[in-house]
Amino acid sequence: MEHWFTNLFTIFTQALISLGLSPVLADAALLVLKWILIVIIIIVNIIILIWLERKISGFFQERLGPNRLGPFGVFQTIADAIKLLTKEDIVPSAADKLIFKTAPMLFIVIAVLLYTVIPLGHDMQVIDLNVGILFFISIGSLSTIAILMAGWGSNNKWSLMGAFRSAAQMISYAVPLAFSLLGVIMISGSLNLQDIVAAQKNIWFILLQPLAFIIYFIAATAELNRGPFDMPEAEQELTGGAYTEYTGMRWALFFLAEYTNLVAVSALMATVFLGGWQGPWLPSWLWIIIKTYGVILVFFWIKWTFPRIRMDHLMSFSWKILVPLSLINILLTGAGIYFFRWMGWC
């Protein structure tokens, strides 16, 4: 079971080469196959997650959640997707049409790009990039541009306010987000995600870097626009924020992208702090799924428990608490590494 996917890839390339394709083209074809698989993984995950979030929020709120279509309402997401596809696609007459239409597309492309570097198992990732973690952080913070485009292009005050809030939030939280990962990078000595996973062979980084984990978790919640940091949407205040003017599938694309982001960020957390795909008995790709879903469940739990934070508190929380804490964490990690070397323990 461990080598199902890697074997599949080898068979695939060898079959292509035996058909007379040059190895370079065969590798390119393999890349296409990997992306197709990633997209399938994303779609399956979204279908599961939307259903799961509804069921879990139902559980939190003493409701039943969806229960009409199929056992436990599992087909509800599919029914909703069909509904959204058949809805009227409205582009406001005052909107900046080009920006309005490209924003959701850009948003989902950015979300999918995040999967490029995540190790989904032993030797299983699209590209084994040597600056993987840097790539992930920089691509992740791009999504605010898509939200800004949506807000600006809609030509609506609510949308614009949501977009500005999103930009302010993303700038503030990208700083502690990146800083919190620095400790991990210092210990593992690499920006490559596979190396970071390998460095956690004996002990998970959540135990070595508990503060960094908490900071990353909070900053990631903000980066994902999830409650209590769901500023860009904030439906009770901004009626829908940056997404106010969107309808049908364009609107749905934002939500699909948010779930795509959620899985990617949770998978990165599992990779960086929870030992990645490493684990006993089960195959590596199953371990990463289990760990990712564990993190996602905590995200759900927080969202359905906390009220929304106020915008100015959100900013001061980042700059006055999270950034200093993450700097202290870097200092402590550095001192710790120096101490360990001085003692000759590593």
Contacts for 273 with CB less than 8 Å, ≥ 6 apart = 184, 204, 205, 206, 209, 212, 213, 216
Q: Quick one: which of 63, 83, 97, 201 contacts other proteins (CB under 8 A)?
A: 63
Residue 60 Cβ, how far from other proteins at the closest point, in Å? Answer: 5
Please calculate the CA angle 206-232-251 and round it to the nearest 5 degrees.
105
57 vs 247 by CB, closer to other proteins: 57
CA angle centred on 295, ends 289 and 298, rounded to 5°: 140
Tell me which stretch binds other proteins (CB under 8 A): 135-143, 230-238, 262-270, 277-285. Answer: 230-238
Exactly one of 1, 20, 62, 343 binds other proteins (CB under 8 A); which one? 62
CA 192/CA 184 separation, integer angstroms? 11
For other proteins, give the closer residue by CB, 115 or 229.
229
**Does residue 275 bind other proteins (CB under 8 A)?**
no
CB within 8 A of 70, min separation 6: which ones?
76
Backbone φ/ψ region at 128: left (φ over 0), alpha (ψ -120 to 50), beta: beta
CB-neighbour burial class of residue 259 (10 A; exposed 0-12, middle 13-18, buried 19+):
buried
Give me the amino acid identity at 330: I
Q: Binding of other proteins at residue 309 (CB under 8 A)? A: yes
Residue closer to other proteins (CB basis): 128 or 237: 237
Candidate residues 201, 310, 320, 341; the one interacting with other proteins per rule CB under 8 A = 310
| 187 counts as binding other proteins under rule CB under 8 A | no
Name the token pair of 249.
Answer: 């599938």
Q: Please tell me whether residue 234 binds other proteins under the rule CB under 8 A.
A: yes
Stretch that binds other proteins, among 136-144, 156-164, 173-181, 322-330 (CB under 8 A): 156-164
Point out which span in 59-67, 193-201, 214-222, 278-286 binds other proteins (CB under 8 A): 59-67
* Shortest Å, Cβ 158 to other proteins: 8
| Nearest distance, CB of residue 321 and other proteins, angstroms | 12
Dist CA 261 CA 146 (whole Å): 13
- Does 241 help bind other proteins (rule: CB under 8 A)? no
CB of 234 to other proteins, least distance (A): 7
Phi-psi region of 204 (alpha: psi -120 to 50; beta: other; left: phi over 0): beta
- Check residue 237 for interaction with other proteins (CB under 8 A): yes
- The DSSP secondary structure of 144-162, one letter per residue, reads HHHHHHHHHHHT-HHHHHH
By rule CB under 8 A, what count of residues binds other proteins?
Answer: 26
Question: Minimal CA–CA distance to 38: which of 321, 260, 249?
Answer: 260
Please state the closest distance from residue 296 (CB atom) to other proteins, in A: 18
Binding residues vs other proteins (CB under 8 A): 57, 60-63, 157-158, 161, 227-228, 230, 234-237, 239, 304-313
